[in-house]
């Protein structure tokens, strides 16, 4: 194609994968896009050469459920229209059940079992396959809301985070107003001590921006954040240090959130030294205790992050957050990059830590099945605004908003729900 034709085709491909503002995205660099946007750009690139065989390696891992459903529908459509063959590599058996004709189950480099997808999921022969199916969050029991009233540990009051963006040098010199992205717009919610709150929504809905604003990594435009009844804005000196110790964050990507030059032992010792939480002679014992809390063997202390699996890296990230003995942990998409068995272990670890240490937890996730299993309450975000908020069981059973119903309907399920008897005849 000519350059002009190629740009037009590229824009059309981005529209096919439901990229917002594709004409603008074409001129942006990858670091300017969200994780979901980058994944969609990669899928568009793969389609650009009109392949006969598409190998899709975890193509929906970084995507929220509605975009995931759109991408899967798009793959189905292309398979029908182009006669496309697809090899789908995935840890999400709900996606596999929805997309695939046959399935191969792998463990330790070997095929455990294979066959038609319906046979494998409904009648697995091997224990490993049965464990994979049982580890699916959609099949795990829902979280229960504590009966007793608890004091709030975190409160957001009409919180807004805006990012001004220049429309170009000419507009700036002409004195025109800059474009403002309202990443978070008037959000109010509370988190009780010892409670787990899930924040869900599509990519770009403001979930991670709320997390970054709470810990001070994103500046607030207006509204307030209070921790244990005290306003966070304006904290300085010793008060600011106490807040930083009390509120810790576990980041989404375990591959980039750890310093590759540090060993695991150095990673866990660093916050203890920086905050002077114990005598230098006591640090090795504290580090060993942190490893036991996240159920990692002590022989990993001498390894660097590049020598660890994804699940091990994520556990080190959790241990680093626990090092300062926080009261609140904000976990941003901590299971999105993990296979289902490791994901189940991490969720079980969080539940155990919450019970043993009375931790409060904010879980940011695009996986509503994970939120249903772990969180007592849920906040649904859309385009920076809070659209629904309440007990997880209530919202999952009877969502009030059409957008929430759309999110819930998009969850990939291993076993599709039976039709309502009242509507079966229709």
Chain centroid offset of residue 44 CA: 22
End-to-end CA distance of the chain: 50
How far is it, in rounded angstroms, from Cα 249 to Cα 330? 5
For residue 78, pLDDT over 60 is answered with: yes
**Do 195-219+234-409 and 3-139 have the same topology in CATH?**
yes
Average pLDDT of 237-260? Answer: 89
| Dist. CA 55–CA 87, nearest whole Å | 5
| pLDDT exceeds 60 at position 147 | no
Is residue 419 over pLDDT 70? no
The β-bridge relationship of strands 196-201 and 179-192 is unpaired
- The model's pLDDT over 60-73, given as tens digits with 9 standing for 90+, comes to 776 777 778 888 88
pLDDT of residue 337: 66
User: Distance of CA 298 to CAs 217, 301, 308, 346, Å?
Assistant: 32, 6, 13, 18
pTM: 0.79
Query: What DSSP letter does each residue of 326-392 carry, written as one string?
Result: -SEEEEESTTTTS-HHHHHHHHHHHHHHHHHH--EEEEE-S-HHHHHHH-SEEEEEETTEEEEEEEH
Name residue 102's beta-bridge partners: 116
Percent of the chain with pLDDT over 90: 50
Average pLDDT over residues 351-355: 85
Residue 188 predicted with pLDDT over 90: yes
Please state which of the ranges 54-58, 68-72, 338-342 shows the lowest mean pLDDT. Answer: 338-342
The per-residue pLDDT for 153 is: 94
269-289, pLDDT tens digit by residue? 999 999 888 899 999 999 999
Rg, C-alpha atoms of the chain: 23
Q: Is the pLDDT at 266 greater than 50, yes or no?
A: yes
| DSSP reduced 3-state for 240 | helix
- In angstroms, the Cα distances linking 231 to 195, 226, 293, 385 are 20, 4, 31, 22
Q: Cβ contacts of residue 159 below 8 Å, gap of 6+?
A: 184, 186, 187, 188, 210, 213, 220, 222, 223, 224, 225
Report d(CA 221, CA 4) in Å as an integer: 41
**What topology is assigned to 3-139 in CATH?**
Rossmann fold (3.40.50)
Is 226 a residue whose pLDDT tops 80?
A: yes
Say what the pLDDT of residue 146 is. 59
Q: 154: which strand partners?
A: 191, 227
Rounded (10°) angle between helices 340-357 and 310-322: 10
Question: Please, which residues have CB within 8 angstroms of residue 196's CB and are 6 or more apart in sequence?
Answer: 143, 350, 354, 360, 361, 362, 363, 374, 375, 376, 377
Mean pLDDT check: name the lowest of 190-194, 339-343, 364-368.
339-343
For the chain, the domains span 3-139, 195-219+234-409
Taking only the tens place, the pLDDT of each residue in 295-318 is 899 999 999 999 998 889 988 999
The per-residue DSSP string of 141-192 comes to: PPP---SS---EEEEEEEEEEEEEE---HHHHHTTPPPEEEEEEEEEEEEEE
Per-residue pLDDT band for 144 (boundaries 50, 70, 90) equals: low
Torsion of CA 8, 14, 18, 20, to 10 degrees: -80
Instruction: Tell me what the mean pLDDT of segment 322-341 comes to.
Output: 86
Question: How confident is the model over 132-146, as a mean pLDDT?
Answer: 73
- Alpha carbons within 13 angstroms on the beta-carbon side of residue 221 total 18
d(CA 298, CA 55) in angstroms, rounded, equals: 38
pLDDT at residue 62, rounded to an integer = 65
Instruction: State whether residue 126 is helix, strand or coil.
Output: coil
Q: Which CATH superfamily groups domain 195-219+234-409?
A: P-loop containing nucleotide triphosphate hydrolases (3.40.50.300)
Say if residue 336's pLDDT is above 80. Answer: no
Percent of the chain's residues with pLDDT above 70? 91
Query: Under 8 Å CB-to-CB from 128, ≥6 apart: which residues?
Result: 105, 107, 112
Q: Backbone phi, then psi, for 302, in 5-degree steps?
A: -90, 0
Examine the pLDDT at 43 and tell me if it is beyond 70.
yes
Does the pLDDT at position 176 exceed 70? no
| Angle, CA 213 vertex, CA 387 and CA 244 arms, to 5° | 135
List, for residues 397-408, the tens digit of each pLDDT value: 999 999 999 888
Mean pLDDT of the chain: 86
Among 121-130, 153-162, 404-413, which is the least confidently predicted range?
404-413
pLDDT of residue 373: 87
């Amino acid at each position: 194609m000519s350059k002009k034709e190629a740009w037009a085709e590229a824009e059309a491909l981005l529209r096919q994968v439901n990229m917002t503002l594709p004409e603008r995205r074409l001129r942006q660099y990858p670091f300017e896009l969200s994780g979901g946007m980058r994944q969609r750009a990669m899928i568009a690139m793969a389609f650009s050469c009109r392949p006969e065989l598409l190998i899709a390696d975890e193509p929906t891992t970084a995507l929220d459920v509605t975009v995931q459903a759109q991408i899967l529908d798009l793959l189905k459509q292309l398979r029908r229209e182009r006669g496309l063959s697809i090899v789908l590599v995935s840890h999400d058996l709900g996606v596999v059940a929805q997309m695939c004709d046959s399935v191969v189950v792998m463990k330790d480099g070997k095929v455990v079992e294979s066959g038609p997808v319906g046979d494998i999921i409904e009648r697995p022969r091997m224990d490993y396959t049965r464990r994979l199916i049982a580890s699916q969050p959609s099949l795990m029991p829902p979280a229960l809301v504590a009966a007793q009233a608890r004091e709030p540990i975190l409160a957001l009051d009409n919180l807004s985070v805006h990012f001004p963006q220049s429309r170009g040098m000419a507009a700036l010199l002409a004195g025109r107003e800059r474009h403002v992205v309202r990443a978070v717009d008037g959000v109010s919610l509370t988190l009780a001590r010892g409670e787990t709150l899930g924040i869900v929504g599509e990519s770009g809905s403001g979930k991670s921006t709320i997390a970054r604003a709470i810990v001070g990594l994103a500046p607030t435009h207006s509204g307030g954040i209070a921790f244990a009844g005290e306003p966070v804005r304006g904290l300085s000196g010793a008060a600011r240090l106490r807040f930083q110790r009390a509120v810790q964050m576990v980041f989404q990507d375990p591959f980039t959130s750890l310093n590759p030059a540090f060993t695991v032992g150095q990673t866990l010792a660093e916050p203890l030294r920086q905050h002077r939480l114990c005598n230098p002679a006591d640090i090795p014992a504290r580090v060993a205790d942190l490893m036991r809390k996240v159920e990692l063997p002590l022989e990993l202390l001498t390894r660097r992050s590049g020598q660890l699996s994804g699940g091990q890296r994520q556990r080190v990230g959790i241990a680093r957050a626990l090092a300062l003995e926080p009261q609140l942990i904000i976990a941003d998409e901590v299971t999105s990059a993990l296979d289902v068995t490791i994901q189940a272990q991490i969720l079980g670890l969080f539940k155990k830590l919450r019970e043993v240490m009375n931790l409060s937890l904010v879980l940011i996730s695009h996986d509503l099945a994970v939120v249903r299993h772990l969180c007592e309450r849920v906040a649904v975000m859309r385009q920076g605004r809070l659209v629904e908020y309440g007990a997880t069981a209530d919202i999952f059973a009877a969502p009030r908003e059409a957008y929430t119903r759309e999110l819930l309907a998009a969850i990939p399920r291993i076993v599709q729900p039976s039709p309502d008897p009242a509507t079966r005849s229709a």
